[in-house]
Amino acid sequence: MDQSMVELNHKIDELSEQVAYLAGQAEIAERQRADRAELMRDLTPIANEAFRLSVEQLEEIQEYIELDDLLRLVKRLARNGRNFEKMLNQLESLMDLAETVGPLANEAFGKAVHELTELERKGYFTFAQGGMQIMDNVVTSFTQEDVDRFGENVVLILNTVKEMTQPEIMNFVRNTLMVAEQEIDKPVDISFTGLMRQMRDPEVRRGLALTMRVMHVVGAQAGGNGNSQQTNLADSAE
């Protein structure tokens, strides 16, 4: 009798465990069903709206596309799934590279903007604009014949400029202009007596002598003896 009661209690316990398990499973299933129902309630308006928009958009392009074309496009997309995956991987790599290089590029851009601002402040761009205007005037003012003649004489022009820009010549011109600027506003005695008084100044006589020498050289140049007279002028200046 006691053994039978033990077995009965054991079976009742097992049955209770099974009932509890089934009840738990039923509760889980009910909860999942409720979640699915809630999800469907949330997705149904979205799906309906997406379907409506799809229909409207397809109506706009239905005369340009056939169902076979759409199916063929879907098949191509399916066949190239791995290629799309590779492309996405490369895009992710590019994004990582952009994140790495971005700070460096921003710093370089900031430095470039700073340098350009400094150049603008110093007037480089204004000077370049003026230079372009000068070049435009030069180009529009000379013919092809003038350019060809310039090319033939460019060596002579450069040699002349070289001689004119020697330090001795530049200092002489600069000092002369500075003295002339200082003396130009002073009163000048142009009477015969005043001129004779100035002639007694050794510097005035030297200046007149050099002026006469230059006039002599100019006359010699006109007569065809330019080279020898230019040499004599250089020797006299020294």
Same domain, 16 and 33: yes
Confidence of residue 234 (pLDDT cuts 50, 70, 90): very low
Residue 71 belongs to a domain: no
Same domain, 193 and 179: no
Question: Tell me, what's the pLDDT at 213?
Answer: 84
Cα 115 to chain center, whole Å? 12
C-alpha–C-alpha distance, residues 123 and 168, integer Å: 31
Residue 25 belongs to a domain: yes
User: What is the pTM assigned to this prediction?
Assistant: 0.31
Same domain, 195 and 227: yes
Same domain, 59 and 33: yes
Q: How many CB atoms lie within 10 A of CB 203?
A: 8
Residue 211 belongs to a domain: yes
Same domain, 200 and 236: yes
Overall average pLDDT of the 103-119 stretch = 86
Same domain, 28 and 9: yes
Domain around 113: 81-141
Residue 158 belongs to a domain: yes
Same domain, 215 and 164: no
Q: Which of 15, 32, 64 is the last residue of a domain?
A: 64
C-alpha–C-alpha distance, residues 159 and 226, integer Å: 15
Confidence of residue 1 (pLDDT cuts 50, 70, 90): low
Confidence of residue 210 (pLDDT cuts 50, 70, 90): confident
8 Å CB contact between 47 and 55: no
Residues 6+ apart with CB under 8 A from 150: 142, 157
Question: Tell me, what's the pLDDT at 224?
Answer: 60
Question: Tell me, what's the pLDDT at 237?
Answer: 41
Q: Is the pLDDT confidence value at 236 over 60?
A: no
Residue 168 belongs to a domain: yes
Number of domains in the chain: 4
